[in-house]
Structure 1
Amino acid sequence: MSDSRKTLVQIDRVTRTFMRGSEKIEVLAGLDLEVKEAEFLALMGPSGSGKSTLLNLIGGLDRPSSGSVQIGADRVDQLSDTQLAHWRARHIGFVFQFYNLLPALTAERNVELPLLLTHLSKADRRKHVASALDAVGLSHRVKAFPRTLSGGEQQRVGIARAIVTDPTVLLCDEPTGDLDRKSGDEILTLLQSLNKDHGKTIIMVTHDPHASARATRTVHLDKGQLSDKPVD
């Protein structure tokens, strides 16, 4: 059965090289990838295979050495630094392995941070924050500081912060990597809900087959190329 959903992420012939002294290191080698709207894609591969590099290219944190990166109607690789910053704030939500919460701020203030880059009023920001924390099941912890939250709760705050701007794509880099299995399962169930019930497009880097099984599709990265088959 064909998939009638529109392509949201289109990566064509992308390479990414780095210099290590005088040595040229090719991390991505003419890579192609399509991600449909409302897809939950798991990206797997050995350490150093370029998973995080690819995620950074999709999120506009890095630029390809060659090739094109298109998200929706935007050629991300052709945006200026200023344009890219505004585009990223509007279209990309990041979820990190180690949460990256500011310890001096409450849960609601951490979640509000991306909204400070918008033109929303204080009242509207509060409404968006309340909605995001409700979506991750933390309405009762809005005034809590990170040090008083469990690892799973901190990651839920991180996810709320990522979705508070209603981004086009949610990028998750090892979102369960610092959690025990029970907390990790709860986070994966939350991500599945955001995908199935709210139509969020999610791209998740993971080493864990248990985590990738929750996605709707898994691809494997090795030697700069993608495959539908696991790396030996």
Structure 2
Amino acid sequence: MSNIVEIRNLSKVYERGRQKVEVLHHIDLDIAQGDFLALMGPSGSGKTTLLNLIGGLDSPSQGTLVVDGERIDRLGEGALAKWRSEHVGFVFQFYNLLPMLSAQKNVELPLLLTRLGAAERRRRAAIALQLVGLTDRVSHKPSELSGGQQQRVAIARAIVSDPDLLVCDEPTGDLDRQSAQDVLGLLQMLNREHGKTIIMVTHDPKAAEYATHTLHLDKGTLVESGAAA
């Protein structure tokens, strides 16, 4: 199986005034196409930084970063934004839904960057909402939905453009246990039945059990890798 992510000698340094803080130290990592990877580690270990680099939301200070066949560490800001819109779906802890828009319109948002017509955007959004089990909530606004339903809308938005890769930053961190299990089961279904590669940052060992592999970071260094039960 081919790799969707290939990382070599990756480092990330942030400058705070005159101080330089190295958040990631010389990371080497391969992630196979179709994997479901959980990234774990204490706060400040570099998990979200690594996730943002893989998703093209940030650029490394050093090293090579190949994602879905593209050297994204070489891309300029405009090219990187275009690449993200075509290849990556994002799921965040706090949903990031627009409160004045219906579930349908929120899911359509990534498609506004494409040349698709309004009817095709509606059709694809409806399919994505059906996939996450929210066909009966398409006209509801976020305030009319539970936290778990809002996260399902966010997942539908992430998959509506049919990306190869989903990056999820604490996707269950704001949910009760039952809603969290529902969302994790949905991610697992997208991985197993639809072939989506998923990289998920989580503090929750029970959430990591849904992944096929777990990767541990500590102080910016890869310290352990293994298979989930």
TM bracket, shorter-chain basis: over 0.9
Equivalent residue number for residue 135 of structure 1? 131
Determine the structure 1 residue equivalent to 2:114: 118
Q: Does 1:163 align with 2:151?
A: no
Q: What residue is the counterpart of 2:220 in the other structure? A: 224
| Matching of residue 76 in structure 1 with residue 72 in structure 2 | yes
1:80-113 deviation digits (Å, cap 9, x = unpaired): 1111111000001000000000000000000000
Instruction: Give how far 1:21 is off.
Output: 2.3
Q: Deviations over 1:168-198 (max 9, x none)?
A: 1100000000000000000000000000000
Structure 1: which 5+ runs fail to align? Answer: none
- 1:42 aligned to which of 38, 42, 52: 38
Residue 194 (structure 1) aligns with: 190
TM-score computed with the length of structure 2 as normaliser: 0.97
Distance 2:224 2:152 in 1: 30
Please tell me whether the aligned partners of residues 8 and 26 of structure 2 are also in contact (alpha carbons under 8 angstroms): yes
Aligned partner of residue 28 in structure 1, secondary structure: strand
5+ residue gaps in structure 2? Answer: none
How far residue 227 of structure 1 moved from its aligned partner, in angstroms, is 2.6
Q: Judge conservation of contact 2:68–2:87 (CA < 8 Å) in 1.
A: no
RMSD: 1.0
Distance in 2 (alpha carbons) for counterparts of 1:73 and 1:57: 15
| TM-fit CA distance, 1:229 | 5.3
TM-score (norm 1): 0.96
Instruction: Please name the residue that 2:146 is paired with.
Output: 150
Q: 1:110 to 1:123 in 2, by over 3 A?
A: same
Cα distance in 1 for residues equivalent to 2:25 and 2:154: 32
Report sequence identity in percent: 59
| One-letter amino acid of the structure 1 residue matched with residue 178 of structure 2 | K
